A and B are shown apart, each in its own frame.
Chain A
Amino acid sequence: MAAEFDLVVIGSGPGGYVAAIRASQLGQKVAIVERENLGGICLNWGCIPTKALLKSGEKFESLSHLKDYGLSASGATFDFDAIIQRSRGVAKQLNQGVGFLMKKNKIEVIEGEAKLEKGAAAPKVVVALKAGGSRTIEAKSVMLAVGARARALPQIGLEADGDKIWAYRDALAPKKLPKTFVVIGSGAIGIEFASFYRALGAEVTVVEAVDRIMPVEDEEVSKAAQKGFEKRGIKFKLGAKVTKVSKDSKGVKVELEVNGKVESLEAEVCISAVGITANTDGIGLEALGVELERGHIKTDSHCQTNVKGLYAIGDCAGAPWLAHKASHEGIHAAEHIAGYKTPNVNSPIAGCTYAQPQVASVGVTEQGAKAEKREVKIGRFPFKVNGKAIAAGETEGFVKVIFDAKTGALIGAHMIGADVTEMIQGYVTAITMEATEEDIHGIVYPHPTMSEAMHEAALDAYGRVIHI
């Protein structure tokens, strides 16, 4: 059987659907297989619906600060169902948008669950169709973009049941608003849910195994974030190992070991945010001999697996588990498949957390640089002396930048505060363009903006800060 498609993409998350569009732009005949919703986790159960919820929480919380701005309003309340419905509506809208993009780019959408079998140029794709029956597709290349799911820890009873123990899907579409939560895990997902439910008035305790929250961030940011969250009423248990999660009629009991001492927390609901598991099972990878590495599909710099014609991108192919990383890999792999010898772009992957305050970072942390024994120059600038931040009443947080002392290359940037997730791209651009301190010092930042703090931090690293 001759190949029916140039490329079949399995999974339509931000990795898969973007790859499909790019391949189609390059003249490839493309099909995409999806077993659930177009748009994957990101659009349906991840990035987007969480941001919708967080916005509701943020708007509601801002009402309690109206006085600071000379305003008053009384009787502010919220409709929890409406908040959830808004978030689901946003997801639906974007999910349909992806459907439209597939049509526009003449990408055939095949609804069903795909499995791989040995093939010629690339593995064969056998789809158990949603509509019933199965379809075998041969293509010149196959791209796995099957994503990941919430990790469960059954050994300690941490398994989502949609009732008392929630994973992100449950937390995104609950039927009612619980009053008390224990959130296990202080990564971006755990912190965002903690922030959202706290903004609506719930009691939230976040449990983290290491001794600081958001462990991938710079230590200074971790500390400031903890302070900011605590100010809003979130509680933390750090250095706490969860030993058992049990349910009773009232809720959940989470047993912990903190510094060798046994403690326990009780709440109506426990949100599990202890990481993800790649969807590498049940698709026939073992039979094909696809190499895995720590649970993820192993790929080279062009996203190729060890099996001829088989590519893997996004969450299923390893960290960082972020939508923009998935999309970037998708584009690169699509170009590689279409015959471009593109060296993989060297743009760093920034991480953003949309809690209040927001956290955004890119590149190395100060601790990371020290561990690598790199000589660095570090600059900081707090928003409390930034004109725009003061005018807006958003003075929480700071910007911290790290330069390589020898070359002047910007190698890390860490921000906490309002809207920093929108600003971090400035540093991403600088790093990608290989800017040095001289370039950043020479950039004219518009006034008044919070971004001026980015300029000042870079100046500070070289003893040239103006406004302190």
Chain B
Amino acid sequence: MTDILMPALSPTMEEGVLAKWHVKVGDTVSAGDVIAEIETDKATMEVEAVDEGEVLEILVPEGSEGVKVNTPIARLSGDAVAPAPKKADAPAEAPKAEAPKTEVPKVEAPKAEAAPAAPKSDDGGRIFASPLARRLAAQAGLDLKTVKGTGPHGRIVKRDVEAAGKGGAQPAAAATAATSAEPRKALSLAQMGIADGTYDLIPLDGMKKAVARRMVDSVQNVPHFPLFIDVEIDQLMAVRAKVNKMLEPQGIKVSVNDFVIKAAALALKMVPEANASYTPEGIAMHHNADVSMAVAIDGGLITPIIRKAETKGLAQIATESKDLAKRARERKLKPEEFQGGTFSVSNLGMFGIKQFTSIINEPQGCIMSVGAGEQRPVVKDGQLAVATVMTVTLTCDHRVVDGATGARLLQAFKPLIEDPVAMLA
């Protein structure tokens, strides 16, 4: 028998949602078959079988949240890979394989002991837990779905809840997140005058909960302040038209946002103090400008990253951003593709939004909000003129980036975006 363990989709991943099973008990799988989908805060990943064998048991039901990395999620017969323990002549202290059930003559093995399993969920999704375990879990705000049962037949007993509680990370992160994302004393909608039945309730998925938690945390913990600047993009539009014509045969189209990413990355290299993160130990000055670009997707938001954007050409940035956005919408991003940027760009220009201030994407020091490019009257050399103007807002974490630093970043950014040729320098 082989246990299939909850995979870590990234080095830092501690738990995830078992979003979907592609196999059921009795199915035969071979290496490479997709057996399940795992959802983390932001991505859904497919889990492939490494061994071959028959699915003996599904240990974690579909939809289980907060499944810790490395907990067994299913059991394969795996005869081909794991030779059955030969009991008769195994030394007594040999690694005690799962119960030598097959060879026990008279009495069948104490099953639960032989195979301590995660709380079974039959079709009704019922979790087997002792009354005390249920109460302790409720008191600790722990989701029993995340607790592995070690009692008879995999029943969750007191010691399991206590162990899970000690594990710290175990209390369903999502649940805690949801709580902290809610107002302190959450009144029900009915209490606030919105009658039941007058709305549809869409359950919170992992992404919704993650966004809620991260945004609340950020607004509560980070001292935000915005800086506004107008940039003229007539030259940019002209350059962009030329570039796109050139790139047309290759099927590449550079967007205004790609220019913004490039210009922001170069500006960050010029004002490295703005490419920084606050940590209790000190200010982390990032070596690269890894620019996160906010992508709206069905049911949420995700920020895939153009790594070392300062070193990349516009064509490459355009290609990458298109690919990232596409896979983001399919929720197929790998965690390392959306975790760990140093600066964010959010663009609502395509919706005609003139200007807006974004919430800091922790632990980044700044986020740039890009409004629509539009023709506006401008005064040039005392003359009224028309220019294509775009308002850019930089929201800063005041613990890292103070007003002057933020201003210098925008000062560096402005000439680059207004005259993209400068980016060649």
Decide: A340 and B109 in contact? CB cutoff 8 A: yes
Give the shortest distance, in Å, between B253 (CB) and chain A (any CB).
60
Given A346-B159, A434-B158, A339 contacting B131 (CB threshold 8 A): no
B90: which A residues are within 8 A, CB to CB?
A: 339
Interface residues as binary, A338-349 with B (CB distance below 8 Å gives 1, 0 otherwise): 111111001000
Q: Is the CB of A435 within 8 A of B114?
A: no
Counted as pairs of residues, one from A and one from B, with CB atoms less than 8 Å apart, the total is 79
A309-B93 contact, Cβ under 8 Å, with A27-B103, A342-B113, A407-B136: yes
Q: Which residue of B lies closest to A26 (CB)?
A: B104
Chain A contacts of B87 at CB under 8 A? 27, 339
Tell whether, in the assembled complex, residue A435 and residue B131 are in contact, meaning their CB atoms are under 8 Å apart.
Answer: yes
Q: Which residue of A lies closest to B114 (CB)?
A: A340
Bound form: Cα–Cα A341–B107 in Å: 17
Q: In this assembly, does B139 line the interface, its C-beta being within 8 Å of a C-beta of chain A?
A: yes
CA distance A335 to B110 in the complex (A): 9
Contact B92 A26 (CB under 8 A): no
Are A436 and B132 interface neighbours, CB within 8 A?
A: yes
Interface size on B, residues (CB 8 A): 32
Selected interface stretch from B25-33, B70-78, B94-102, B243-251: B94-102
Residue B375 is within 8 A (CB to CB) of chain A in the complex? no
Please determine whether B104 and A27 come into contact, CB atoms closer than 8 angstroms.
yes
* Chain B positions within 8 Å of A27 at CB level: 87, 100, 103-105
Chain B positions 26-70 with a Cβ under 8 Å from a chain A Cβ: none
Q: Which residues of A contact B131 (CB under 8 A)?
A: 433-436, 438-439
The 0/1 profile, CB within 8 Å of A marked 1, for residues 108-140 of chain B is 011001101000000000000011110110010
Q: Which residue of A lies closest to B150 (CB)?
A: A343
Report Cα–Cα, A438/B90, bound state, in Å.
Answer: 48
Say yes or no: A338 contacts B159, CB within 8 Å: no
Q: Taking A122-B92, A340-B99, A434-B130 as contacts, is the C-beta distance between A407 and B139 under 8 angstroms?
A: yes
CB contacts (< 8 Å) of A341 on chain B: these are 96, 98, 113-114, 116
A339 with B107, Cβ < 8 A, contacts A407-B136, A434-B132, A435-B132 known:
no
Contact A434/B133 with A341-B116, A346-B157 known, Cβ cut-off 8 Å = yes
Q: Which of B107, B132, B157 has the most CB of A within 10 A?
A: B132
Contacts of B113 in A (CB 8 A): 335, 340-343
Shortest Cβ distance from residue A4 to the other chain B in the assembled complex, whole angstroms = 13
Looking at the assembled complex, report how far the CB atom of B183 sits from the nearest CB atom of chain A, in whole angstroms.
27
A340 contacts across to B, CB distance below 8 A: 96, 99, 109-110, 113-114
Give the distance in Å from the alpha carbon of A108 to the alpha carbon of B225 in the complex.
84
Query: In the bound complex, do residue A337 and residue B132 qualify as a contact, i.e. CB atoms below 8 Å apart?
Result: no
**Contacts of A337 on B, CB cut-off 8 Å?**
92
Q: Does residue B382 face the partner (Cβ distance < 8 Å to A)?
A: no
In chain A, positions 68-124 with a C-beta closer than 8 Å to chain B are 121-122
> For residue A6, which residues in chain B have a CB less than 8 angstroms away from its CB?
92
Tell me the residues in window 371-421 of chain A with beta carbons closer than 8 Å to chain B beta carbons. Answer: 406-409
> Roughly how many angstroms separate A111 CA and B100 CA in the complex, as a whole number?
31
| 11 intermolecular pairs with C-beta atoms under 8 Å apart | A25-B106, A27-B87, A309-B92, A340-B110, A341-B98, A406-B139, A407-B135, A433-B131, A434-B132, A436-B131, A439-B131
Q: Which B residues fall within an 8 A CB radius of A?
A: 85, 87, 90-93, 96-100, 103-107, 109-110, 113-114, 116, 130-133, 135-136, 139, 150, 157-159
Q: Give me the interface of A with B, judged by CB distance under 8 Å.
A: 6, 25-27, 121-122, 140-141, 308-309, 335, 337-343, 346, 406-409, 433-436, 438-439
| 19 further A-B pairs in the complex, CB-CB below 8 A; given A341-B98, A341-B114, A433-B130 | A6-B92, A25-B107, A26-B107, A26-B109, A27-B87, A121-B91, A337-B92, A339-B85, A339-B87, A339-B97, A340-B110, A340-B114, A342-B110, A407-B135, A408-B135, A434-B130, A434-B132, A434-B133, A436-B132
